[in-house]
Amino acid sequence: MSLEPARVPNGFNIVPPPGWDTIPLQGGTRDAIERIVRKSVSQLPAGFPKDDIPKARLQLTKELKRTVRQARNSDGLTLYLPVERMHGMIIPASFVASEPLAAPTGKNIEAQAVLIDLARDAEDASLRQLDGTAAVRTLQKLPADPDKGVEVPSWRVQYTVPIPDSAPAQWLTFSFSTLVAPNMDIEFTETLVELFDAVMTTFRWSYA
């Protein structure tokens, strides 16, 4: 009896929330930023001073480039972020899909063992299923860090999922963060976390 070889996923698909857009971080980044800036400028409220439009465009481009740099520093593959206003404001949140993490060469590490360690070490962790694959979800509430330019606290949610049948073992991570502004209701922050959890239920593996 012959067994079919294991099928290893070559990617994944996620459905972003309405009003969100994506920026690829390994190619096409500049075009994506320009597209988002054009769309955002076209949606400025009626009566917005025309003389201030170039300044608004420049400021948004600067902010997007800074967010892209931060995502790349985390080995990001794709950046997802809101581009439309909600209740009159742009949501201070984003999430990043990062490059696969691989087990050290020559070490036989069980994918599930890593998930168990993550769950054990995190203050707030739970097991989830992503397209039939066991994953770990962790939640952190991070304090402000003015030395790093972070003036307000933030919440960070991360999903870690092993790539099925990968050898050596590999894991994908999806990290969501939202700033807790002084005038932001804590229930609104919790709603954003729930929104990210809902997005992760749309995760599907893709195969060649």
Residue-wise pLDDT tens digits, 130-178: 999 999 999 988 877 777 666 678 889 999 999 998 888 889 999 999 8
The domain defined by 100-208 carries CATH number 3.30.380:
yes
Closest CA to 193 of 139, 152, 153: 139
pLDDT of residue 152: 77
Unique residue bearing structure tokens 């979800």: 137
Per-residue pLDDT tens over the stretch 36-85: 998 888 878 788 888 888 998 999 899 899 889 989 988 999 999 998 87
pLDDT of residue 2: 42
Quote the CA–CA distance of 185 and 196 in Å, as a whole number: 17
Mean pLDDT of all residues in 170-188: 83
169: buried, middle or exposed (CB in 10 Å: 19+, 13-18, 0-12)?
A: buried
pLDDT at 203 over 90: yes
Boundaries of every domain in the chain: 18-79, 100-208
pLDDT of residue 3: 46
Q: What SS3 state is found at 99?
A: coil
For residue 182, name the pLDDT band (cuts at 50, 70, 90). Answer: low
pLDDT of residue 34: 94
Strands annotated E in 40-199: 76-82, 93-98, 101-102, 125-130, 133-142, 154-162, 170-179
